[in-house]
Structure 1
């Protein structure tokens, strides 16, 4: 199986594994689905972090209003008493007026935070360093443990307008948000290899050869974005290593220029009679003077 290191722009994303005989069209669809799936997991985690701090989302007509405005308009949250976190809640008002301020108790907060960390580790970019591949099954696993966590914390379920619920059911509306700009439309997704666009009708082996143990780098974007920047001749780590070595060498040369120490004259290699002494067995003679 060929290992493909997927990048978006200059940032590493994940490792994908495919057979050299697989069609590029299928590879693009799978890679795009994984890429968008990672974004979904991170969106869910961000919303769950907010839930742990400030409770569930307010009804759309109450979001952003001050307490005075809510009283003046005589608005109420009909879902607040129907969806109480397991074990009760503490009051921690949301300064931006987005959530109801009824956050879960400390024990449930820990469950949420630990689950978030577990899900993030499953899809982390650091997996590339460990040479671990990512696939749709792992994405679904991360989504499943997050959903299970919410079921534990909110056994009565989540309100219909809660963003986390919409993410779990794939009914999220991201129009007009920054998140919508990050998503890549599968119908418009394209891959690039060695500065050239990868053609859908070809096979992976047309680009990396027949060696199933090869590892290549591909970049993903969508039609209209233009070709991504080519990979640098050397990695950033290699650049830093070479710069450090160059600096060390320069410092050594400066030290040699300033060093006027002639103590080296006492060294054996500087004695022009060392060979003669060695032949006559006189090179290790030491003299001891009495008092």
Structure 2
């Protein structure tokens, strides 16, 4: 088995385990699926947290409008009247104007928030420190838990334009959003993995020879390869620079100290060894 430590820039993302005989094309696709799956979980968690606080999404033609404008234009949120949370709603106005403000009651809100925390933990970057390998099964399990929690709180479902429903139905539209920059296609997924057949054979041969094979994979955008992994971490570099700074200060103080009285000490006598072997050590002269 091979362990891949996937990073984006210098930031760890997750650990992934795969057989050493895995083809590079399949390995690239596997890493990409897990990476994009984790992003999907985080997007859903963000939206579900907003759902718990401010209710379902407003129709696109009502978003960002004031109550006076909605009344003047005679707009109506028909889906908002159908999609009522279990146990009734509590009005909490959305200052951004994206959601209708009819939030779930406190009990249902805690159901959503607790599930979000559990889902985040399953695909968290802290899994790297714990040595846990992230798999597509874990990603799917997190998605299923989020879907189940939303169905419990909103048994009537969500509006078709709500981003949570669109994510669950794989109809999400990320065009023109910041989230698109994090999304990876297979073509630009793992810039750190070898691409040619010769590189692939060498790479897999190296995996087979290593007892504890581990590969570092980095995501990159564009045509160029990702940056090389630094020899030392930023924290180690900081400590090293601090050590050299202290050492320079010590040497500077020694240079500024002109006190040479230590040269009269016995240990500073460069003829002491010679006099010791000649037997003339500790000779005291007496005047006649």
TM-score between both structures, scaled by the size of structure 1: 0.81
Matches within 5 A, 1:119-268: 119-186=119-186, 188-193=187-192, 197-199=194-196, 202-203=200-201, 204-221=203-220, 224-249=222-247
Alpha-carbon RMSD across the aligned residues, in angstroms, is: 2.9
What runs of 5+ residues in structure 1 fail to find an aligned partner? 261-268, 270-291
Aligned residue number for residue 97 of structure 2 = 97
* Superposition deviation, residue 166 in structure 1: 0.8
Matched, 1:32 2:32: yes
> Helix, strand or coil: the match of 2:130?
coil
CA separation of 1:32 and 1:89: change in aligned 2, threshold 3 A: same
Contact 1:64 1:96 in 2 (8 A): yes
Paired residue secondary structure (1:165): helix
SS of the residue corresponding to residue 156 of structure 1 reads coil
Hey, what's the Cα distance between the residues in 2 that align with 1:24 and 1:212? 20
Secondary structure of 1:80 counterpart: helix
Give CA-to-partner distance per residue, 1:7-27, whole Å, 9 cap, x none: 122221111111221111110
Cα separation, partners in 2 of 1:197 and 1:102, compared to 1, 3 Å? same
- 158-167 or 201-210: which moved more? 201-210
Q: Matches of 1:38 and 1:101 in 2, distance apart?
A: 28
Partner of 1:18: 18
The answer as to whether partners of 1:54 and 1:100 remain within 8 angstroms in 2 is yes
CA 64–130 in structure 1, closer or farther in 2 if over 3 Å, else same = same
Name the SS for the 1:81 alignment partner.
helix
- For residues 209-238 of structure 1, give each alpha carbon's deviation from its aligned partner in whole angstroms, at most 9, with x where no partner exists: 52252222111235x342111111211122
Equivalent runs, 1:48-127 vs 2, <5 Å? 48-127=48-127
Q: C-alpha displacement at 1:242, in angstroms?
A: 2.1
1:29 deviation in Å? 0.2
| Cα separation, 2, equivalents of 1:98 and 1:200 | 50
Evaluate the alpha carbon distance shift between residue 252 and residue 118 of structure 1 in structure 2; reply closer, same or farther with a 3 A threshold.
Answer: farther
Q: Distance in 2 between matches of 1:88 and 1:256?
A: 77
Quote the Cα distance in structure 2 between the aligned partners of 1:153 and 1:257: 74
Change (3 A) 1:69 1:249: same
1:128 shift after superposition:
0.9
Q: CA deviation at 1:56?
A: 0.4
Query: Where does structure 2 lack aligned partners over 5 or more consecutive residues?
Result: 259-266, 268-288
Deviations 1:182-206 (A, max 9, x none): 21122x134344xx74436825524
Shift of 1:119: 0.7
For residues 32-57 of structure 1, the C-alpha deviation after alignment (integer angstroms, 9 at most, x for no partner) is: 01111111111101111111111100
TM-score, normalised to structure 2, is 0.81
* Higher share in helix: 2
